[in-house]
Structure 1
Amino acid sequence: MTDTSDQLPVPQRIPSGIAGLDRILHGGFLKGGSYLIMGPPGAGKTILGNQLCFNNVAAGGRAIYLTLLAETNSRMLANIQNFSYFTLTPIADTLSYLSGYSVLEQEGLEGLTALLRSEVRSHRATLLVIDGIVTAEQAAPTVQEWKKFLYDLNVAAEILGCATFLLMQFEEGPASQPEQTMADGLIELKVRSVNMRSIRELQVRKFRGSAFLEGGHNFAITQEGIVVHPRAEAVLAVSPAELPKPLATTEQPMRMGVGITHLDEMLRGGLPSSSTTLLLGASGTGKTLLGCHFLTQGIMQGQKALYFGFNETPAQLMRKMTRFNLDASRFVAAGQLELLWQPPVQDLLDVLAERLLNAIQRLRVKCLFIDGIGGFQRTMASTERLDLFLTALFTALRTLDITTVCSVELPDLFSPTVTLPQTISGTTAMVENILLLRYVELHSQLYRLISIMKMRESGYDPAIREFRITDHGIEVASTFASAEAILTGIARFSTVTPGVPPAFETSARPLQEQQS
């Protein structure tokens, strides 16, 4: 048995107060640690340093912001006063702004070290930010003196329990500089231009004493200050223990109906619960309407539903659902359905992921329709991420017991083969179900056909069926006869008795005669 008295105490955390950053750091910085924040001019180092101070004070701490720059403190405060975290209230008592430039100039590194020790001790500071630390490096007569200054600063910070942050301009070069090797942690801020957009990225290069979310993470400078969006693939990573247990061979999965009679029959009762389904089809084939059927049926089965789309606004979608008697307004008013539209603006992929997951958690959703996977792609700086992102997202949704349907637009209106967008070609292996909606042209007329291409956890009817869009939404033929007639080129036209569900047995009406 281990003697707990011999174990070292768990280091105390000092949260940054920036939710996304604290999530990356698994709770925040460590008390008494020293951290280097590096980045080019304009990356946001000064904004972040001030935000750390104000958030620390707001949480009950005491902070010092010491600048070694030519910029005066009054000028700097004027520049940050429009951020929401800024307030004059704590400055006089718990947040102290100092300039160490004259002390460094007159007394060198020893004088600056003495100043820092004295101020941290007298102010009982829990957090210290030194802005422009490169000025101190340039004042060091030798590399050895610079190392001694950093060592003395780290020792003082640890003894006094004060987390210290050094803000420094990033310069390309070896990663063995003294300030990088001696710091407990290193955070790099980057700004890069992609397709005429400025993309800001934060990366934790080093963090002693704790695990963290590795890799790059997007951030933005907003009215709130620095807002960090952890990379969705890292946040959504699921351990094998968290995955749903496989069903026994004799156990049948729960079903979530689509709400279209003969399609549910083809699906042997509906989509397996917690599964992910891709709706493949060209523009106008009925993907959005089929997804709305699915959401409506989920509500009828007692579940809450969420529409997350990129093309149609909530008002447009409400009109569409009402037109096809899907009663959207009643479901929205009752809180059973929420329509979330993502306008075509310069959002980040990780922002969309946060918005989606927050809505799912808030509404306790069990039925989700993502209308247009391509909307995620349009927000990405690197399209190579999409497969990894969707794989992580679908896995996380499965662990949350959410039945998900996603529409994917195919590029070809008429083609004997199905060509997937290259960016999601690897995603098909991760989903359980795939449905294909397509047009067929015959004698200068258009028809719609539907087929099930894949159901991993269930048997299904592999036959191709014709379907039509009527005043009641999508209606699927009860047999494959009409689809066979269309595909073999012997379709003939006839009318359907009003009010009688069509069998489409040996006749087919052209698309122009159907409700659209």
Structure 2
Amino acid sequence: MTPSPSTLSVLERLPTGIPGLDVVLGGGFFRAGVYIVQGQPGSGKTILANQICYSHVAAGGSAVYMTLLAESHSRMLQHIRSLSFFEERAIPDRLCYLSAFHDLEAEGLKGLVAVLRREMRARRVGVLVLDGLVAAAEAAETDRDLKKFIHELQTSAVFHGCTVFLLTSGSPQRVNAEHTMVDGIIELEDRLYEARAERAIQVRKFRGAGSLRGRHPFRITDDGLQIFPRIEALFSRPPESAAERRALTTGVSSLDALIASRGYPAASATVVVGSSGTGKTTLGLHFLSQSTTDEPGLLFGFFESPARVRAKARAFGFDFEELESAGALKLVWHSQGEHMMDELGHRLLAEVAQRGVKRLVIDGLSGFFESAVHPERTNRFFSCLVNELRERGVTVLMTLETRDVVSHVVYAPYGISGFVDNLLFLRFVEDNGRVKRLLTITKMRDTDFDVGMREVRIGSHGMLIAGLLTSDGDIIPSAEPAEPPRRPSPTLPVGGDEQKS
């Protein structure tokens, strides 16, 4: 008799306790499901399974970790006891480590099923790990016997409400008999990209719900696994909220005067492109100098430490230490190293969410670009990241360094013009033995702007935008260049009186 849909209960989820994994799975594993976790030796299967067990017992449940031909329990515990999730007091009452190899060797798969059923029933476990599925597969005389073993295991799991994880080092390239029977297949891998290695997790099969497709990078740290769902998979939808019809001052009055909205449109993304020394970071510091507790700022940088940033700001008359003390500004720095692009993206979004950031400067987009093991992802990555920042009401200014020092050519490298709203170029030009800085606004989506090449001067008060550059190299003076606006108190409304104009 076929059950009516109205009589079927909704499957409950089992939280994994692994940061990012429940997001990839769309809410966690389903309770009473049977899942294969596969990967080559060293890919992280044992840590993942133990992390799930300890998370489950920490929430009040009980678990069994059963091994066949795997490393000894004492050796395993020596390896994981340094990880933060390890809790020695949970052993053996709430988490029990057992070996079933002798039962398998003596009675085959029938004896193994009997042991697993007995432990589910006696200990009322919510999570059971069988480490060494390869040994069970080798004990099966035929594929049919192995399928029968999986079927009986599923029946017991449903009856006892136990979620089962089968760990194996089997090849992911071959479809084995057990793959067709289980509720899901999770694959861990550790790949080498030239001199650099990156770990990734992939959900190859998951019955009952949609999961985030593709590979998602992860790290193994002292806290265990931490998974970073790919930004373009997680935030693939465009922003739904309407753009705010206001502007945030750039922090440079003479630049605001060139923009019809008198600043960057709210919740927009701006990229400032230029070679080293043209003033990209300086423009970012001006923008952050207008941060308040009502409109907090964040510098997310790669190439200058917070101490150097504070010193540079101080030279322009900006007291970043005061802003930081008031909670209006935070400086986050990443030293050069082997970062993962999605890890950086999630770290950035976490800072934005935690502090309610409204003014964001990413100083050095190349820090993201250089972290990508798949460079073809960068445009999709930033398009989705920027959309998510817009959705959160963040106005972001990004800097990107070009290689040419003195140039008369204006171009947008890396295809960045497609995912940003506003594009500014800072460059050097040579004129009769003198080098001048020039600013050109080439794109602004939601506001009109002055088109032309403007001279940029950087002095003790920071940046000033002067007059137009003519074809013969002369500067057409504009109105007296305005001084940078005075920085508002961290507790004042955003932008001061300038926002009212």
TM-score (norm 2): 0.91
**Counterpart position of 1:307:** 299
Superposed CA offset, 1:409-467 (max 9, x none): 1221122223433xx21x31221111111111011210011121011111111122111
* Aligned residue number for residue 466 of structure 1: 455
1:284 paired with 2:250, answer no
The answer to whether the Cα contact below 8 Å between 1:37 and 1:168 also exists between their aligned partners in 2 is: yes
Cα offsets for 1:6-36 (capped at 9, x unmatched): 2522111111111211111122111110000
Return the alpha-carbon distance in structure 2 between the equivalents of residues 170 and 387 of structure 1. Answer: 35
Alignment of 1:370-389 (within 5 A): 370-389=362-381
Residue of structure 2 equivalent to 1:415: 407
- Give the drift of 1:105: 0.6
Q: What's 1:437 paired with?
A: 426
Partner Cα distance (2:57, 2:482) in 1: 70
CA offsets per residue over residues 39-71 of structure 1, 9 Å max, x none?
001111112112211111111111111100153
Q: Match of 1:105, SS?
A: helix
Equivalent residue number for residue 489 of structure 2: none
Cα distance in 2 for residues equivalent to 1:430 and 1:91: 52
CA contact (8 A) 2:38 2:172 kept: no
Greater Cα offset, 225-234 or 304-313: 225-234
1:453 and 1:490, CA in 2 relative to 1: closer, same or farther beyond 3 A?
closer
Deviating more after overlay: 352-361 vs 28-37: 352-361
1:266 matched to 2:263: no
Distance 1:351 1:5, change over 3 A: closer
Structure 1: stretches of 5+ with no match in the other structure: 248-252, 495-499, 504-516
**One-letter amino acid of the structure 2 residue matched with residue 103 of structure 1:** D
Distance 1:29 1:222 in 2: 23
Quote how far apart the aligned CAs of 1:297 are.
2.6
Q: Secondary structure at the match of 2:330?
A: strand
CA distance in 1, matches of 2:243, 2:118: 62
Q: Is the counterpart of residue 363 in structure 1 residue 352 in structure 2?
A: no
What does 1:87-166 align with in structure 2 at a 5 Å threshold?
A: 87-166=87-166
Q: Is the 8 A contact 1:410 1:419 kept in 2?
A: no
C-alpha deviations, 1:282-323, integer Å up to 9, x for none? 1100000011111113449x5211111111110000000000
SS at structure 2 position matched to 1:325: coil
| Match in the other structure for 2:24 | 24
Aligned residue number for residue 68 of structure 2: 68
Determine which of 337, 341, 344 is the counterpart of 1:352. 344
Post-superposition offset of 1:502: 7.7
Tell me, in whole angstroms, the C-alpha distance in 2 between the residues paired with 1:490 and 1:209: 69
SS state of the match for residue 290, structure 2?
helix
Assess if the C-alpha contact under 8 Å between 1:374 and 1:408 holds in 2. Answer: yes
Q: Is the 8 A contact 1:233 1:392 kept in 2?
A: yes
Task: For 1:488, give the aligned amino acid.
Answer: D
Give how far 1:244 is off. Answer: 2.5
SS of the equivalent of 1:266 reads: coil
Work out the CA distance in 2 between the residues paired with 1:267 and 1:233. 32
Cα separation, 2, equivalents of 1:502 and 1:246: 29
Q: CA deviation at 1:335?
A: 0.9
Other-structure match for 1:233: 232
What runs of 5+ residues in structure 2 fail to find an aligned partner?
Answer: 484-501
Q: For residues 151 and 330 of structure 1, do their structure 2 counterparts lie closer, same or farther at Cα, with a shift above 3 Å needed? A: same
Partner of 2:90, secondary structure, is: coil
Alpha-carbon contact 2:70-2:132 (below 8 Å) kept: no
Tell me the amino acid that sits aligned with residue 183 of structure 1. V
Q: Does the 8 A contact of 2:425 with 2:441 survive in 1?
A: yes
Separation (CA, whole Å) in 2 of partners of 1:92 and 1:502: 73
Cα offset for 1:75?
2.3
One-letter code of the match for 1:443?
A: N
Residues 63-118 of structure 1 show CA distances to partners (whole Å, capped at 9, x for unaligned) of 11110015322222222222111122111211111111101111111111111111
Q: What are the Cα deviations for residues 368-424 of structure 1, in whole angstroms up to 9, with x where unaligned? A: 111111110111111111111110111011111111111111221122223433xx2
Tell me which amino acid in the other structure corresponds to 2:452: A
Give the number of the structure with larger relative contact order, counting CA–CA contacts within 8 Å between residues 6 or more apart.
2
Q: Distance in 2 between matches of 1:44 and 1:413?
A: 46
The alpha-carbon distance between structure 1 residues 27 and 429, as it changes in their structure 2 partners (threshold 3 A), is same
Q: Is the 8 A contact 2:265 2:446 kept in 1?
A: yes
Specify the SS of the correspondent of 2:289: helix
**Any idea what SS the aligned residue of 1:317 has?**
helix
* 1:182 match: 181
Q: CA RMSD in A?
A: 2.1
Please give the alpha-carbon distance, in whole angstroms, between the structure 1 residues aligned to 2:76 and 2:252.
63
Match of 1:509 in 2: none
Q: Is the 8 A contact 2:291 2:328 kept in 1?
A: no
In structure 2, relative to structure 1, the CA distance for the partners of 1:501 and 1:267 (3 Å cut) is closer
C-alpha displacement at 1:355, in angstroms?
1.4
Distance in 2, matches of 1:367 and 1:315, equals 20
Using the alignment, how far apart are the partners of 1:450 and 1:118 within structure 2? Answer: 75
TM-score by length of 1: 0.89
Identical aligned pairs, as a percentage?
A: 41
- Residue pair 1:411, 1:419 contacting (<8 A) in 2 also: no
C-alpha displacement of 1:172: 4.9
Kindly indicate whether the alpha-carbon contact (under 8 Å) linking 2:128 and 2:165 is maintained by their aligned counterparts in 1: yes
Indicate the SS of the match to 1:446. strand
Question: Does the residue aligned with 1:384 lie in a helix, a strand or coil?
Answer: helix
